[in-house]
Amino acid sequence: MNAPVKTSKLIKGETGDWEMVIGLEIHAQVTSKSKLFSGASTEFGGAPNDHVSLVDAAMPGMLPVINEECVSQAIRSGLGLNAQINLKSTFDRKNYFYPDLPQGYQISQYKSPIVGEGQVTVELGDGRSVAIGIERLHLEQDAGKSLHDQHPSMSFVDLNRSGVALMEIVSKPDMRSAEEAQAYVAKVRTILRYLGTCDGDMEKGNLRADLNVSVRRPGAPFGTRCEIKNVNSIRFMGQAIDYEARRQIEILEDGGVIDQETRLYDPNKGETRSMRSKEEAHDYRYFPDPDLLPLEFTQAYVDGLKAKLPELPDAKRARFMADFGLTPYDASVLVTERESADFFEAVLGQLADKARDGKLAANWVINELFGRLNKEGQDISASPVSAEQMAAIISLIGEGTISGKIAKDLFEIVWTKGGDPRALVETLGMKQVTDLGAIEKVVDDIIAANPDKVEQARAKPQLMGWFVGQVMKSTGGKVNPQAVNDLLKAKLGI
């Protein structure tokens, strides 16, 4: 794997180069049947206020009780982020007043979070890797939701989400471009999905991020940052960061200063706008929640969770590269979703010659199968081509029974009509012609019919491609291109 390196993509301003500095706060909903401090269900899509206990509604005298499942999920997430697990942490009250927050405060972790510093390795499009630092991960409650569209003159509140456990994952200000920030969010999402600690469903808002963006002259101290709240699409994150950095550069180049403020991204207009300035910022008056004891567990408990973690994407990627000679890029694509990696492994499991066909299998799974699934807007669980069928097609190519070109036709037939690829090759006569005599006859005929082209090809060997094309055409693509090339070279004397 490439050594993690820090890189920058500088932005050209009118007065010189600028560098972006980005730090993210990701809010990830913990996968758990019940809420952080109550037994109410976390199920999505119930009727408003169906999943609300007396604790979530903050009735007087109700006391929170920590849900162990949420604690172990946070620890597992911390382990997946290569982070320090704190055996003792505390819960604090973050006080603010809002209709969807019946307690009048959110229970969060302030000074002493359950997870401390960690690191995530992020792969970029050009094959480079960067290491992004994690500052902390803490547990907190989600708020409810105000409904403003149910009545002409009143707002309603739905407390189903009130009290659901969130993990807030705070990065260090280590990202230097929108691409790095996007790749970081995608990687954290992948890790959490592998762990099963957050489903990563961004459309439902189960994973969203606050984007802290500032700009500076390369090498200068950090500038003042703005925070763009609650973005729940990786594409919009990229747009919001680029817009925000440009906005700040324009202000600075005009001799202005950046006000530290909270902003919102408007995807329709493609711009960020101010929500509140630092002066209007809340004073949360944090203090330790007197209803909750410090959260304490043993190292043995952590070790027990660690021993049961699944193989994570970085390890899987390294294994795919080492065992099957996959490129870093191909390996990254295959491990992005655990289901895709599992499918690839199921294909490999069916191959008679993994060493010979492993790389071919990666190409076919990524380009033909994933490509086709993307086109149809389907994911791997809905693939009409099974791992067995995929492996059969790949083996048929690897052993030379069919050409790569014919294999695409075969894939199409299996995709649309199903069937056993080996049997289909027999019944549909798709086998590659391996009889050298037969190929030679075709080559001889084409050479004899085109003396002018023969002369041209002798003068300019690249023109041999024309002959290869002719042979393919007259055999319906059923000959091995290498054999054709070898024969042509010999016959044309090039």
Q: Which residues contact ligand ADP (rule: CB under 6 A)? A: 21-25, 170-173, 212-214, 222-223, 225
Q: Which is nearer to ligand ADP, 24 or 312 (CB)?
A: 24
Q: Which is nearer to ligand ADP, 76 or 225 (CB)?
A: 225
Among the listed residues 341, 482, 485, the one whose alpha carbon sits nearest the alpha carbon of residue 404: 482
Q: How far is the CB of 123 from ligand ADP (least distance, A)?
A: 21
Q: How far is the CB of 265 from ligand ADP (least distance, A)?
A: 16
Start-end of H helices in 114-177? none
Amino acid (one-letter) located at 430: M
Among the listed residues 389, 446, 448, 451, the one whose alpha carbon sits nearest the alpha carbon of residue 422: 389
Q: Are strands 92-95 and 287-288 parallel, antiparallel or unpaired?
A: antiparallel
Q: For tokens 């030379």, what's the residue? A: 400
Q: Which is nearer to ligand ADP, 158 or 261 (CB)?
A: 261
Q: Which is nearer to ligand ADP, 23 or 421 (CB)?
A: 23
Q: Which is nearer to ligand ADP, 243 or 364 (CB)?
A: 243
- Where are the extended beta strands (E) located within 322-478? none
The widest CA-to-CA distance across the chain, in whole angstroms, is 98
Position of minimal CB gap to ligand ADP: 23
Among the listed residues 432, 409, 426, the one whose alpha carbon sits nearest the alpha carbon of residue 417: 409
Distance CA 169, CA 133 (A): 11
CB 250 within 8 A of CB 52: no
Q: Which is nearer to ligand ADP, 25 or 56 (CB)?
A: 25
User: Which residues have C-beta within 8 Å of that of residue 476, sequence separation ≥ 6?
Assistant: none
Distance CA 81, CA 92 (A): 24
Q: How far is the CB of 172 from ligand ADP (least distance, A)?
A: 5
Distance CA 485, CA 463 (A): 12
Q: How far is the CB of 185 from ligand ADP (least distance, A)?
A: 12
For helices 178-195 and 313-324, the axis angle rounded to 10 degrees is 90
Q: Which is nearer to ligand ADP, 21 or 488 (CB)?
A: 21
Tokens of 342: 């599992």
Q: How far is the CB of 258 from ligand ADP (least distance, A)?
A: 10
Q: How far is the CB of 3 from ligand ADP (least distance, A)?
A: 23
Q: How far is the CB of 142 from ligand ADP (least distance, A)?
A: 18
Q: How far is the CB of 113 from ligand ADP (least distance, A)?
A: 11
Q: Which is nearer to ligand ADP, 160 or 272 (CB)?
A: 272
CB 133 within 8 A of CB 188: no
CB 245 within 8 A of CB 58: no
Q: For tokens 């016959």, what's the residue? A: 491
Tokens of 444: 């001889």
Tokens of 40: 């109410």
CB 74 within 8 A of CB 82: no
Tokens of 248: 């700040």
Q: Which is nearer to ligand ADP, 136 or 193 (CB)?
A: 136
Q: Which helix (H) or strand (E) holds 371?
A: helix 371-375
Tokens of 308: 């049961």
Q: How far is the CB of 110 from ligand ADP (least distance, A)?
A: 9
Q: Which is nearer to ligand ADP, 200 or 223 (CB)?
A: 223
Q: Which is nearer to ligand ADP, 275 or 494 (CB)?
A: 275
Q: How far is the CB of 192 from ligand ADP (least distance, A)?
A: 17
Q: How far is the CB of 288 from ligand ADP (least distance, A)?
A: 18
User: Which residues have C-beta within 8 Å of that of residue 416, sequence separation ≥ 6?
Assistant: 384
Tokens of 128: 């480079």
